[in-house]
Chain A
Amino acid sequence: GIQVEQSPPDLILQEGANSTLRCNFSDSVNNLQWFHQNPWGQLINLFYIPSGTKQNGRLSATTVATERYSLLYISSSQTTDSGVYFCAVEAGGTSYGKLTFGQGTILTVHP
């Protein structure tokens, strides 16, 4: 099946710093999503971005499908950005609707 790798696994920032999270995937995808998992375990949808670039406030994401990677940018980080960031992809063929998750990036933002 498709492989999803995220980097870095851990990231520690001071409040106000910028960061880039990366997601590499091993095959073509029909769907790619970025999630933030808060301390209570809930998954918050950040971006649905199978290709192209999107921005939402301090967050933006870019997916280059032909090169099989996606980037999540966090600018002017805040302590509330802390948590785990997951990239998840939906491969083609018989994988319709099935998301494969990366291992996540644990982000800690210190005040």
Chain B
Amino acid sequence: SAVISQKPSRDICQRGTSLTIQCQVDSQVTMMFWYRQQPGQSLTLIATANQGSEATYESGFVIDKFPISRPNLTFSTLTVSNMSPEDSSIYLCSVEGEAGAYNEQFFGPGTRLTVL
């Protein structure tokens, strides 16, 4: 399985500011995903990070609020822009363990964000 790290592990930010979260994988992967988990809730997919093209966003999420970069096959960033207290969540990246269709996914340790 892939080893995934995220930075920062946690942060406390002021409203109106932006935070960039990094996701690093120890091997090349085709598919990378970003999820949000609001307090006491389940996980919701934000977007698919595509290497060499723009990210694909799910309903309710927009690029201006959550810009994503994917410069290569082992790294991606998610920025939470113009933050408000409602953005306080755990943000997790995930990857497929192996290339190909419908394979097991693994998650990074998450970034716990608190917005004051």
A98 engages B101 (CB within 8 Å): no
Chain A contacts for B53, CB-based, 8 A: none
Instruction: Check A30 for interface membership: any CB of B closer than 8 A.
Output: yes
Proximity string of chain A (22-61) to chain B, C-beta cutoff 8 Å, 1 when within and 0 when not = 0000000011010100001111010010100000000000
Interface size class of A (residues with CB under 8 A): 20 to 34
Cα–Cα distance between A40 and B90 once the two chains are bound (Å): 10
Chain B residue numbers with a CB within 8 Å of A104 are: 42
Residue in A42, A50, A99 whose CB lies within 8 Å of B105: A99
- Point out the residues of chain A lying under 8 angstroms from B105, CB to CB: 31, 33, 97, 99
Contacts A42-B109, A42-B110, A86-B43 given: A31-B1 contact, CB under 8 Å?
A: no
Interface string of B6-46 (1 = CB under 8 A from A): 00000000000000000000000001010101000111110
Alpha-carbon distance between A97 and B37 when the two chains are bound, in angstroms: 18
Q: Is the CB of A97 within 8 A of B31?
A: yes
Docked-complex contact B33 and A45, CB < 8 angstroms: no
Task: Please list the residues of chain B having a beta carbon within 8 angstroms of any beta carbon in chain A.
Answer: 1, 31, 33, 35, 37, 41-45, 48, 58, 90, 92, 94, 96, 101-107, 109-110, 112
Q: Which residues of A contact B (CB under 8 A)?
A: 30-31, 33, 35, 40-43, 45, 48, 50, 86, 88, 90, 96-104
- List 11 other contacts, CB 8 Å, given A30-B102, A103-B41: A33-B104, A33-B105, A42-B109, A45-B106, A48-B103, A48-B104, A97-B31, A97-B33, A97-B105, A98-B58, A101-B44
